[in-house]
Structure 1
Amino acid sequence: MDLNFWRYKKNTTHDHVTVYQMACCDGEVIEVLEFLPIDDILKKVATTFSDWIIHDGGKSFEKDGYGAF
């Protein structure tokens, strides 16, 4: 499964298909999108899942009987 997240800047047209293709698939920077605070988000995930085994500097998590992400 591949989950993709983005946030539009205020007062911009929302075109999810184009954003997904250009930003997520092609890796292009799109002016209508905000920069997400990735490090802060990963820290919150690590705190929430602190009893899981954390790999790759907080980018991969696993727990016996619960799977991994």
Structure 2
Amino acid sequence: MYELLFWKYLDEVYLNHHEVYEALCEKEWVNGLEELPIQVILNRLNNAFSTWEKVDESSFKNKSGVGAFHVITTPQSIKIDCYGTDGKTMNKLCDIMDEFKCPLYDPQIPARYDDFED
């Protein structure tokens, strides 16, 4: 499994990314993060992956048999657990979340990909 996590800071807020990640994984509220338009984002994912099999309300499986992902939400975050998902698909997920100004936090590295950071 490969985790992708997305959230958006309020303006002028800078927090420890890994601590935010841990809190969001525990479904805790994090002061300094924006609430996300969760249903709009889920609709966007549903449209973007309409050719994939919808296993349940939050799980997608590639009909080719290679790759699947599961979406977990809080009011402030979108977490996507990827199973055998190729890099192209993960990039597509990141691009969709970028449309909502939610950069990727990759806990495996760990690194957050904010445009304004060095």
- Which category describes the TM-score, using the shorter chain as reference length? 0.7 to 0.9
- Please report the RMSD computed on the Cα atoms of aligned residues, expressed in angstroms: 1.5
Matched with 2:56 is 56
Cα shift readout 1:15-62 (whole Å, capped 9, x = no counterpart): 2011012222x22101101111121111111111111111222x1111
Length, aligned pairs only: 67
**Higher-RCO chain (CA-CA 8 Å, sequence separation at least 6):** 2
TM-score, normalising length: structure 1: 0.80
CA distance in 2, matches of 1:22, 1:52: 31
Deviation at 1:65, TM superposition (A): 3.7
Deviation at 1:11, TM superposition (A): 1.1
Q: 1:8 and 2:32 equivalent?
A: no
Give the gaps of 5 or more residues in structure 2: 70-118
TM-score, normalising length: structure 2: 0.51
Matched with 2:33 is 33
Moved over 6 A (4+): none
Task: Give 1 or 2 for the bigger CA radius of gyration.
Answer: 1
CA distance in 1, matches of 2:31, 2:3: 23
CA distance in 1, matches of 2:48, 2:68: 14
Identity of aligned residues (%): 40
Matched with 1:46 is 46
